[in-house]
Amino acid sequence: MTSNRVRPRIECSIVLVGLMGAGKSAIGRRLASRLGMPFVDADAEIERAAGCSISDIFELHGEAAFRDGERRVIARLLSRPAHVLATGGGAFMDPETRAAIRAKGMSVWLRADLDLLVSRVSRRSNRPLLAGGEPREILRRLIAERHPVYAEADVVVDSMDGPHEQTVDAVLDAIAAHLDVRRRETGPEPPSLGIEA
């Protein structure tokens, strides 16, 4: 079910950031369809470029090599026409990637609390950072380290523990509000708002 709310007209890529389990890919895919924009998953692109899974990249080459690849792939993706981009949880922690996102896109932090993250990541076991210990403790540490950096995003939205469309609605409202503020600051020219047909 989708609501008939105002649909922002977007002229730059929307980049979803946040921790593992925040719902970046699930929300991103639905957001892209509501906005009529292409959806791209950075982790899937990294796997495609490397020809193996993220777990294998970590195991065979180490985290530093993964981060190098992640930085390069995201820089390349940001040069594509406007799309919705879901990034891996560590991507926005890289200062170069953060600067590239700031220059070429609009960042949206999908914020989720520890309990929600733990319940979501427990459904899958493909995350190398969670493989070496107790997921709740690892995520608690990552929240302390990363939330202050994610807070630099242009837009912050709480990821809800309900139907995904509810969170997508909240993202659309937050993006529209952000564009409205930006428009008032920069004058009436685009980015501007359009009304959903």
Site of interaction with ligand S3P (CB under 6 A): 20, 24, 43, 54, 88-90, 127-129
Strand partners, 93: none
Burial degree of 66 (CB within 10 A; 0-12, 13-18, 19+): buried
Nearest Cα to Cα of residue 180 among 148, 172, 129: 172
Nearer to ligand S3P, 12 or 149 (CB): 149
Helix (H, G, I), strand (E, B) or coil at 194: strand
CB of 98 to ligand S3P, least distance (A): 14
CB of 3 to ligand S3P, least distance (A): 27
Nearer to ligand S3P, 123 or 184 (CB): 123
Looking only at the bridges linking them, the beta strands covering 155-158 and 193-194 are unpaired
Burial degree of 133 (CB within 10 A; 0-12, 13-18, 19+): exposed
Burial degree of 124 (CB within 10 A; 0-12, 13-18, 19+): exposed
CB of 122 to ligand S3P, least distance (A): 13
Nearer to ligand S3P, 8 or 88 (CB): 88
Strand partners, 111: 158
Nearer to ligand S3P, 6 or 131 (CB): 131
Nearer to ligand S3P, 43 or 154 (CB): 43
CB of 157 to ligand S3P, least distance (A): 16
Nearest position to ligand S3P, beta carbon: 88
